[in-house]
Structure 1
C-alpha cells in the first residue's frame, strides 16, 4: 500500500490551488493523508478524485473544519496504526505530535504545522512531516511524502519539487 501524505496546503488565501506537481505525484496512491491547515474543504474533494482521504484540521482551519475532521485520528493501514495530527507549536511540532500519541499504540505519526519535512524513527515509531506543497517558508523546495506500508513495516520518503 502506498499512502500520499500532505499538510499545510493553505489553499484559499494567496494560494489558489494545489500544484500540478503534487497532484501528479499522488496519482496511483491507495490513500491520501492530509495533516491539517487545509482552509477550504474543496481541497479534500480534489484529493478524493485521486484516492480516499483521511484528514485532520490544523490551527488555521475554521471551527467547521475542526468539528468535521477533528484534530487527532488513528487509522489502520494493513496491520499497522497511523496517528494523524497537525502538531502545533512551531519548532516544537514534533514534540507536540509525540505528546498527542504518547498514550496510544501507533507505528507511525503523521504531523505538519512547521512546513519543515521530517522523516525519522524514534523509539520504534516513524514520525513523518511532509512539509508543504504550497508554502515552503524557509525550506529550499516544496514537498509532500509517500508512505510505503507492507508486511515488513512502514517507511517514508519525502518528495521534493
Structure 2
C-alpha cells in the first residue's frame, strides 16, 4: 500500500493551490494522511480528488476541521498501526510530544507535523515521520511532503522540491 503524507499546508495563507510537485507526487497513492494545520476544508476537498484522505487537526485549524478529524488518530492499515497527531503543545520537542501521544499504544509508526522540519527516524522500533511542509518551509532549504510504503516492511521517504507553485 502506498500512502501520501502531508502536514502544515496552511492554505490558502501560504498557497492558493496544491503545489504541482505534490499533485504529481501523490498520483497513484491509495490513501493520503494529513497531520494537521490544513487551515481550510478546501485542502481536504482537493486531496480527496486524488485519493481517500485521513487526518487530524492542528493548532491553527478551525472548529470545522477539529470536528471532522479530531486531534489524534490511530489507523490500522494492512498489519500496521499508525498514530497520527499534529504534535503541538507546551514543553518538550515536537518529536517527543508526538511519541508520547502514543506511548501507551503499540504503534509501528507515528506521523506528525507542527515543526515544519522533515524527520524520518526510528525510536525504540517506532518510525517517527514528519513530512515537513509543502507550502511553508520556514528555515528549511526545500519544501517537502512524504510517501510511506506498507509492504513486508513499513518505510517512509521525503519528497523535496524547490517551487511551491
TM-score (norm 1): 0.96
Runs (5+) with no aligned partner, structure 2: none
Taking structure 1 as reference, are residues 114 and 24 closer, same or farther at Cα in structure 2, changes over 3 Å only?
A: same
Instruction: For residue 147 of structure 1, give the secondary structure of its aligned residue in structure 2.
Output: strand
Structure 2 match to 1:133: 134
Structure 1 stretches of 5 or more lacking a match? none
Q: Is the 8 A contact 2:14 2:135 kept in 1?
A: no
Once residues 62 and 42 of structure 1 are traced to their aligned partners in structure 2, the CA distance between those partners, rounded to angstroms, is 12
Q: Tell me whether 1:42 sits opposite 2:42 in the alignment.
A: yes
Q: Are positions 1:103 and 2:104 aligned together?
A: yes
- Work out the CA distance in 1 between the residues paired with 2:72 and 2:89: 15
Aligned-partner Cα distance in 2 for 1:131–1:14: 14
After TM superposition, list the pairs within 5 Å mapping 1:72-87 onto structure 2.
72-87=72-87
* Mapped partners of 2:15, 2:48: distance in 1: 19
| 1:14–1:112 Cα change, 3 Å | closer
Query: What is residue 9 of structure 1 aligned with on the other side?
Result: 9
Question: How many residues are paired up?
Answer: 160
Question: Counterpart of 2:29 in 1: which secondary structure?
Answer: coil
Once the two structures are superposed, what CA deviation does each residue of 1:106-129 show, in whole Å capped at 9, x if it has no partner?
100000000000000111100000
Matches of 1:153 and 1:14, distance apart in 2: 35
Secondary structure of the equivalent of 2:17?
A: coil
User: CA offset at residue 13 of structure 1?
Assistant: 2.2
What is the aligned partner in structure 2 of residue 19 from structure 1? Answer: 19
The offset of 1:15, in angstroms, is 2.4
RMSD between aligned residues: 1.2
